[in-house]
Structure 1
Amino acid sequence: MDIDLIKAFCKLAEKGHYGLASQVLFISQSALTKKIQRLEKDIGCKLFERGIRGTRLTKAGTILLPEAKRLENNFDTFKVLSKNVSSGKCGQLKVGYGISSYQIAPKYIYSFKKNYPDIHVTLDDIPSYKQVNMLLEGRIQISFNRIPISHSLVSIPIGTDRLAIAIHNSIIIDDHHIFDIIKDLDYMRLTEERGPGLAIQIKKYLDEVNLNLYVVREAKDILTLLSMVAANMGYTIIPLSAKLLTLDQIQYIDLPYFNTKWDVGIIWNKSINDPIRDNFIEHIKEELCNN
């Protein structure tokens, strides 16, 4: 059944006159008459009685009108919804992030949601290598991750991060003799499985300074690792951005020399068509231009 026939039925019932209804619908009276006749034929009963002063609903028309209005309203709602979905203004955005984007990711998502309130955003803390696989498989739409990447993905740099030592506040640090101070302390780290990118970055740095650290303890998440540092169980090397999660008992010390910095950006799979993701990317580009 054609929705235009339902609309014609509702409008004629509202106006009670073929001439008035046809003007609102921007069609001729004869075209409106044909639409009503087609609808009556499809339904199998008469909907209107014509009189000298206009039309009035039959008993069947009176019964069917509320449902016809509901169908008309639902169709209009569907049109608006489908337009918003196709233009990326409504739907779901799945985002992955990691240690280096604890501050960056929420900031951009917050400003994006103000402009696109009908988009439901999910934000999950996911290891960097898993984010890449999930992008390739289409299980997430955006990744906040270290760049560059070696896969067929696209990225935009939005910030930087660097390595730092996290150590208990009670330990007095001399920036010129950091390694002399920590050599007698227990070294703790995030498991390589949880942070493979971080493990590679730390290894590059340790190779540069010709330092071999013996791992005494490992943690499967960054909060547990920092809790052990806060308990003065040892020290760790982590991204400076993790300072946002720190406890009062922890101090952060920049590491000397090179290979301590890396770029952080948003990454996506351009081979997948996704208007919601594209709107998010354009939003971030605008934010970067304005800052």
Structure 2
Amino acid sequence: MYVKKIRSFIVLATSDSFRDAAEKLNITQPALTKQIQLLEGIFGFQLFLRDNHGCYLTDEGKIIYKYALNLTDELDKFLCVVKKIKTGRTGVLNIGHTFSFINILPEMINRYTEHHPMIKIQIHELDSAEQEKRLLSGELDIAFMEKPVNKQIKYEEIGTDHLLIISNPKDNFQINNFNDINQILDKNILCLPNCDSHFELSQKISKFLLKNSLNFPQVYYTNNVYNSISMSNLHSNVTILPNSLVHNIKSKIKYHELMGKGSKWKIGMSWNEERAGADALTFINEMKNK
């Protein structure tokens, strides 16, 4: 097998000299030289050039280096799968999330499953209170939510989310204080996703209006977030949505960031350490290190 020799080739390609690479590999310099010479004999061309300043990849070596990296990466993934099958770690992770994570959670899960292909992920969109309840009961392994109330649940803050008011691009209003917000709400219909499928979001917007003594406007409920955005593009309509839901399309809409009580909130990753299994802890540690 050539795996050991190819790994030595990769280390040497990123080192200043044979001596430096040999120290990293914990082998003697003659042993490394022999491995590289064997590879060059197998391939039929020279991989490195040497001078007084060190060693360098030949043009052929540079081409081989790219393929060698891909080969060892795939081999590592293969060995990881074999290990998981051998140890029985081919389970399921139940992950909950609020609306604040709809656009960022898929990328996080893709990163995890790329290195842990035998673990199946089941995703559940739930409000923070329900996620907390399911973490305690063991129905969820990991939750992406607002900071939990129960101190038994561990919490790692990831960032913040905040409310935006979105309007017709032709509207020229400015928001400098609560009076400006009241005037906008008085003159426009507020389009929101329906309460049944977006209960936590509707509740958060209602609390924001109440906490800041803002006028509760006439509301038109739509089927989903994107319909609310489309309606806000019409004259005399606005919508209030969290930044997380429109972050990817902010360049295409007109919006103002809202201020006041309840306009911003912290979000993070939560888990019940007493119930978290090995796969959940692996997921948590990998996300914390990103």
TM value normalised by structure 1: 0.60
Paired residues, what number? 207
Q: Which residue of 2 aligns with 1:263?
A: 266
Between structure 1 and structure 2, the one with the greater Rg is 1
1:81 aligns with 2:81: no
TM superposition shift of 1:246:
4.4
1:122 aligns with 2:122: yes
TM superposition shift of 1:239:
0.8
Match of 2:226 among 223, 227, 235: 223
Match of 1:279 among 265, 282, 289: 282
State the percentage of identical aligned residues: 24
- Which sections of structure 1, spanning at least 5 residues, go unmatched? 1-76
Q: Which residue of 1 aligns with 2:154?
A: 154
CA distance in 1, matches of 2:217, 2:181: 16
Q: 4+ residue stretches of structure 1 with deviation over 4 A?
A: 77-80, 245-249
Deviation string, structure 1 residues 102-147 (Cα, Å, up to 9, x no partner)? 2331232222223323222233433444433433343332221122
Larger mean CA deviation between 173-182 and 91-100 belongs to 173-182
Distance 1:186 1:78, change over 3 A: closer
Deviation string, structure 1 residues 169-217 (Cα, Å, up to 9, x no partner)? 2222213334323421002333444444434433443234321213421
Q: Which residue of 2 aligns with 1:37?
A: none
Q: Which residue type is aligned with residue 159 of structure 1? A: G
CA distance in 2, matches of 1:127, 1:201: 11
Matches within 5 A, 1:26-105: 81-85=85-89, 90-105=90-105
- Which sections of structure 2, spanning at least 5 residues, go unmatched? 1-80
Distance 1:123 1:151, change over 3 A: same
In the alignment, is the contact (CA less than 8 A) between 2:159 and 2:267 conserved in 1?
yes
SS of corresponding position for 2:262: coil
Q: Which residue type is aligned with residue 81 of structure 1? A: I
Matches within 5 A, 1:132-147: 132-147=132-147
CA distance in 2, matches of 1:282, 1:208: 37
CA distance in 1, matches of 2:134, 2:222: 24
CA distance in 2, matches of 1:139, 1:161: 26
CA distance in 2, matches of 1:112, 1:83: 18
CA distance in 2, matches of 1:132, 1:231: 39
Deviation string, structure 1 residues 46-72 (Cα, Å, up to 9, x no partner)? xxxxxxxxxxxxxxxxxxxxxxxxxxx
In the alignment, is the contact (CA less than 8 A) between 1:229 and 1:250 conserved in 2?
no
State the superposition RMSD in angstroms: 3.0
Q: Which residue of 2 aligns with 1:207?
A: 210
SS of corresponding position for 1:225: helix
